[in-house]
């Protein structure tokens, strides 16, 4: 295969906090469109995602997505977060509590000093709202939504900006077991239809079976060799 | 009663300017202390809180030394622009601004600290530059706390006495604010003037506190 790697990540970062030290040394290269980072909490999964998004700066290494260099220590490339054009779904969705569903979804459409208006909703926002069955909730506030509706809002908000890649941080952790199974199914269908490459991080083995093309296991800040520690041991 | 309106108008002008200046200064310093890590942050916070705990006369004395005609700042202003601040209403604004400043930056800092940084990160990833994230996410979510601080600052500036008297004096119609006019009226034995001035001041302060309490329930009382 000569097309550029979808994911080409090699990052090192030392965290020191309150006398405790944590070394993140994550390295992987893959053509997989749907990649899963699997591992227990504290393994460095979220930090890896934050480094890819530019929310955490690594000490050395590089971050390349589909041939685009987002960060390269040696070449001195430090693309700021807003220019990376990524979709990020946070664990608790991080919806803006002062904005309606429609304003949340339209947030990334306007880059200036003002939030999207309460009434004039741009066409691409309307499209994503109806695609995710959110149109009837367009004028609701996040605190009025159920867990599943919040997740769909967060996903729509990320996708409306047409991101080059989607980063999903434990998208089901905030939901109860029954809802989790249903939404996992729903998300799997969605991701099948989207051409966007994605990384999903999880500590739930069930996510691994349903959502990924390739699975990487993280432990104590490192990617374990394939076929090393198995899913079942976590 | 007629004599009360001049000091009232002056007081509102001085307190209004002091509040406006504190909107800019207090929000900027509050945000800096809440979001940026730098050495000496706690020392800076303590130093900036000093106006709240120091006697106003001590503060007024410091100001006289600084912006008086022979002071480093006052001397420079006089020599360069011919501006004199002592015994002017602008001097009273500076005194009121400094006295009320801790109320604004402390309330702003607490309000900014209560905003989940993850919301700012989410906005940033969506392609919105940092300055716009501040205007669209951080400030709207912190606004109630900031406003509560500003209203308290307005009330504090309205009642400012010690530092204002030292810096601006008590010139009727020019620097004689309500609280100073009350003092002068009592000294001169003009009880009916003092009565109406006290009534006006009390009503203003109660109104401000009621609005502040409505803006941020529990926060105002708990903070200070």
Task: Identify the closest residue of chain A to B139 by CA–CA distance.
Answer: A98
Nearest to A100 by CA among A128, A121, A70, A74: A121
Residue A128 belongs to a domain:
yes
Q: Does the structure show a pLDDT above 90 at A102?
A: yes
Question: Least CA distance to B128: which residue of chain A?
Answer: A111
Instruction: Write down the ipTM of this complex.
Output: 0.89
Residues A50-88 as b/e (b if ≥16 CB within 10 A, e otherwise) read: bbbbbbbebeebbbbbeeeebbbbeeeeeeebbebbbbb
Q: Is residue A22 situated within a structural domain?
A: no
A65 located within any domain? no
CATH number of the domain that A191 lies in?
3.40.50.300
Q: pTM value?
A: 0.85
| A15-24, A113-122, A181-190, B46-55: the lowest-pLDDT one | A181-190
How far apart are alpha carbons B23 and B51 in whole angstroms?
Answer: 17
Per-residue pLDDT tens for B102-115? Answer: 999 999 999 999 99
A74 assigned to some structural domain: no
Q: Which residue stretches of chain B are H helix?
A: 5-35, 41-53, 56-67, 72-81, 89-113, 117-125, 130-133, 139-158, 162-168, 178-187, 191-215, 219-223
Report yes or no on A113 lying in a domain: yes
Beta bridge partners of A26: A11
* Structural domain contains residue A164: yes
State the nearest Cα–Cα gap between A111 and chain B, in angstroms.
Answer: 5
Chain B CA closest to residue A166: B125
Report the residue from A50, A85, A111 with minimal CB separation from B128: A111
Q: Sorting pLDDT into bands at 50, 70 and 90, what band is A228?
A: very low
Q: Which of A82, A112, A114 sits opposite B124 (nearest CB)?
A: A82
Half-sphere exposure in the Cβ direction for A8 (13 Å, CA) = 14
Any alpha helices (H) in A160-233, and if so which ranges? Answer: 177-193, 205-211
Number of domains in chain A: 1
Domain membership of residue A108 (yes or no) is yes
Q: Which of A98, A113, A161 sits opposite B126 (nearest CB)?
A: A161
For the stretch B139-193, pLDDT in tens is: 999 998 999 899 989 989 988 999 999 999 999 889 999 999 999 999 999 999 8
pLDDT at residue B223, rounded to an integer: 39
Q: How many CB pairs under 8 A join A and B?
A: 65
Residue B68's SS3 state is coil
Q: Domains in chain B and their CATH numbers?
A: 2-223 (1.10.3720.10)
pLDDT tens per residue across span B82-138: 888 899 999 999 999 999 999 999 999 999 999 999 999 999 999 999 999 999 999
Q: Whole domain around residue A191: which residue ranges?
A: 33-56+83-220
> Which candidate in A87, A91, A94, A142 is best for mutational testing of the B interface (most B CBs within 10 A)?
A94
Nearest CB partner across the interface for B129, out of A87, A88, A111 = A111
A72 within domain boundaries: no
């Amino acid at each position: 295969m000569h097309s550029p790697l979808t994911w080409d990540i090699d990052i090192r970062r030392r965290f020191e906090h309150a006398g405790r030290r944590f070394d993140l040394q994550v390295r992987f290269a893959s053509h997989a469109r749907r990649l899963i980072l699997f591992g227990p909490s504290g393994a460095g999964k979220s930090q890896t995602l934050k480094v890819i998004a530019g929310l955490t700066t690594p000490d050395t290494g590089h971050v390349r997505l589909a041939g685009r260099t987002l960060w390269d220590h040696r070449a001195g490339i430090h693309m700021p977060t807003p220019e990376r054009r990524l979709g990020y779904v946070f664990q608790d969705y991080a919806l803006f509590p002062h904005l309606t569903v429609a304003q949340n979804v339209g947030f990334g459409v306007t880059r200036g000093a003002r939030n999207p208006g309460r009434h004039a909703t741009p066409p691409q926002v309307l499209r994503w709202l109806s695609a995710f069955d959110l149109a009837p909730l367009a004028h609701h506030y996040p605190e009025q939504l159920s867990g599943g509706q919040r997740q769909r809002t967060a996903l729509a908000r990320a996708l409306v900006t047409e991101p080059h890649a989607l980063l999903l941080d434990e998208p089901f952790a905030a939901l109860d077991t029954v809802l989790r199974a249903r939404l996992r199914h729903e998300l799997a269908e969605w991701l099948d239809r989207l051409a966007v490459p994605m990384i999903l991080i999880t500590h739930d083995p069930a996510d691994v079976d349903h959502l990924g093309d390739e699975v990487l296991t993280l432990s104590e800040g490192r990617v374990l060799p394939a076929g090393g520690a198995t899913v079942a041991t976590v | 009663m007629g004599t009360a309106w001049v000091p009232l108008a002056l007081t509102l002008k001085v307190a209004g300017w002091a509040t406006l200046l504190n909107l800019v200064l207090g929000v900027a310093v509050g945000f800096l202390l809440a979001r940026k890590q730098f050495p000496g942050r706690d020392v800076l916070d303590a130093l900036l809180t000093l106006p709240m705990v120091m006697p106003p006369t001590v503060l007024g004395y410091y100001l006289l030394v600084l912006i008086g005609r022979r002071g480093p700042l006052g001397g420079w202003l006089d020599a360069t622009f011919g501006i004199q601040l002592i015994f002017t209403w602008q001097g009273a604004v500076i005194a009121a601004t400094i006295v009320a400043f801790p109320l604004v930056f402390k309330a702003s800092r607490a309000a900014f600290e209560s905003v989940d940084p993850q919301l700012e990160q989410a906005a940033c990833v969506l392609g919105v530059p940092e300055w716009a994230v501040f205007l669209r996410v951080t400030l709207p979510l912190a606004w109630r706390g900031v406003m509560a601080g500003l209203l308290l600052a307005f009330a504090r500036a309205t009642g400012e006495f010690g530092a204002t008297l030292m810096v601006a004096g008590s010139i009727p119609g020019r620097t004689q604010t309500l609280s100073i006019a009350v003092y002068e009226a009592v000294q001169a034995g003009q009880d009916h003037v003092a009565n109406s001035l006290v009534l006006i001041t009390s009503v203003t302060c109660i109104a401000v506190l009621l609005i502040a309490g409505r803006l941020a329930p529990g926060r105002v009382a708990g903070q200070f």
